[in-house]
Amino acid sequence: MLAYLEPLAREFKNHADPVKARQMKAYMKNRFEYFGFNAPIRKAILKKFVVAQGKPKYRIIDVIVSELFQLPQREFQYAAIEFCGMIKRDWSEDSLELFEKIATTKSWWDSVDSVNSVCIRPFFLKFPKNCAKHTLRWIESENIWLQRLSIIFQLRYKEKTDTALLARNIGLLNQSDEFFVQKAIGWALRDYGHSNPDWVIDFVDKTELKPLSRREALKKLKETETRVDR
């Protein structure tokens, strides 16, 4: 293990809770091992670690991420993603390659959604130029996790949402049989519906969507309409 990471590993082990670890492992369908502590504890450990050891250096972030993803406990993968977010000022356009690697390594919804919120979403705000090209590449990759990212990366963009791109990417994936892709479509539309409900309602009316996507997209909007009607 890198000397830089040794104090972090010790702290993670010191906070291990075998009972919670079994519960967390079961919740994630036994895909990963866990130390057994929640996100607030992990963030507190990382904050203390960075004060003592400093933020990771951008020039070796890929090595740090690779090492953390080789370790069995899932908390190490969460830490790798958060380390990437700590150095966003140093990101270059080449950083996307690392974020894609994270998304496609030991992939499940927890890590993919985390790398989206911590890395992908802010990356495309910083480097929007080739967004359409990259997300099309993800769609064509047939990797369901990259496809999911092509849909959800604009979450919370609000008025900055590129609706043409959102519509294009959904249109290319709207007949996917993958649960996590269908769910992503509904999630992205529901999220944008907070800012522009008329656009979302019109889009859903005019677009052939899987039942899950349609239901998820309109869920909050229908609840709002019901409250208004009453």
What local confidence, expressed as pLDDT, does residue 221 receive?
83
- Please state, in angstroms and as integers, the Cα–Cα distance from residue 227 to each residue in 34, 186, 204, 219, 230, following that order: 42, 21, 21, 13, 5
| 73: three-class secondary structure by DSSP | strand
Q: What value does the mean pLDDT of the chain take? A: 95
pTM (predicted TM-score): 0.93
The DSSP output letter for 58 is G
**Segments in the chain below pLDDT 70:** 222-230
Q: Rounded to 10 degrees, what is the CA torsion of 108, 214, 211, 131?
A: -40
What local confidence, expressed as pLDDT, does residue 223 receive?
59
What local confidence, expressed as pLDDT, does residue 220 receive?
76
Taking only the tens place, the pLDDT of each residue in 5-46 is: 999 999 999 999 999 999 999 999 999 999 999 999 999 999
Give the other-Cβ count within 10 Å of 13's Cβ.
Answer: 10
Q: Residue 192 has which token pair?
A: 């944008």
Taking only the tens place, the pLDDT of each residue in 102-120 is: 999 999 999 999 999 999 9
Quote the strand ranges of the chain, DSSP E: none
